[in-house]
Amino acid sequence: MNNVKAVWLRTPKEVTDEEYAKFYWSLAKYFSEEKPLSWSHFTAEGNAEFKAHLFVPPKAPHNLYESYYNSSKSNLKLYVRRVFISDEFDELLLKIAEEDPDEYSDKEKTDVEASDKDEKFESIKSGGKLASLDQYISRMKAGQKDILYITRTNKEQLEKSPFLERLTKKNYEVIFFTDSVDEYLMQYLMEYEDKKFQNVSKEGLKLGKDSKDKEVKDTFKDLTKWWKDVLVSENVDSVKISNRLDNSPCVVVTSKYGWTANMERIMQSPTFLDANKQAYMHGKRVLEINPRHLIIKELRERVISDPEDESVKQTAKLVYQTSLMESGFVLSDPKEFANNIYNSVKRSLKISSDATIYEEIEADEAEKVETPKEAKEEDAAVNEDADTEPSIVIVSVFNSGAVCSYSFFASLSSMALLVL
Show pLDDT as tens, one digit a residue, over the chain (420 residues): 445 567 878 888 888 888 888 888 877 765 566 788 888 888 877 666 778 888 888 877 666 655 555 555 556 666 666 666 666 655 554 444 444 444 444 444 444 444 555 678 899 988 888 888 999 999 999 989 999 999 988 888 889 999 999 999 999 999 999 887 788 778 778 888 899 999 999 988 988 776 678 899 999 999 999 999 999 988 899 999 999 999 999 999 998 878 888 888 877 765 554 555 555 556 689 999 999 999 999 999 999 999 999 999 999 999 999 999 999 998 888 999 999 899 888 888 989 877 878 777 766 665 555 555 555 555 555 455 545 444 333 333 333 333 333 333 333 333 333 333
284 and 227 part of one domain? yes
Q: What is the total count of domains within the chain?
A: 4
Parent domain of 193: 119-199
- Please write the tens of the pLDDT for every residue from 85-104: 666 655 554 444 444 444 44
* Strand 403-410 with 415-419, pairing: antiparallel
Q: Is position 360 within any domain?
A: no
Terminal-to-terminal C-alpha distance of the chain: 100
Can you give the CATH number for the domain in which 296 is found?
1.20.120.790
Look up residue 35 and give its amino acid. Answer: K
Residue 108's pLDDT is: 43
Q: Is position 107 within any domain?
A: no
The whole-model pTM stands at 0.60
Residue 212's pLDDT is: 75
Q: Is position 208 within any domain?
A: no
Cα 386 from Cα 146, distance rounded (Å): 79
Q: Is position 358 within any domain?
A: no
Can you give the CATH number for the domain in which 132 is found?
3.40.50.11260
232 and 331 part of one domain? yes
Residue 213's pLDDT is: 83
232 and 311 part of one domain? yes
218 and 343 part of one domain? yes
Give the domain-ending residue among 157, 175, 199.
199
309 and 231 part of one domain? yes
Can you give the CATH number for the domain in which 47 is found?
3.30.230.80
52 and 125 part of one domain? no
Q: Is position 188 within any domain?
A: yes
Give the domain-ending residue among 199, 230, 256.
199
Rounded CA Rg of the chain = 34
Q: Is position 166 within any domain?
A: yes
CB 254 within 8 A of CB 266: no
CB 337 within 8 A of CB 317: no
308 and 236 part of one domain? yes
Cα 144 from Cα 125, distance rounded (Å): 16
196 DSSP β-pair partners? 146, 191
223 and 265 part of one domain? yes
Q: Is position 77 within any domain?
A: yes
Q: Is position 245 within any domain?
A: yes
Sheet holding 285-289, edge to edge: 236-241, 285-289, 250-254
Of residues 259, 309, 296, the one with CA closest to residue 279? 259
Residue 376's pLDDT is: 53
227 and 341 part of one domain? yes
246 and 294 part of one domain? yes
Give the domain-ending residue among 150, 174, 199.
199
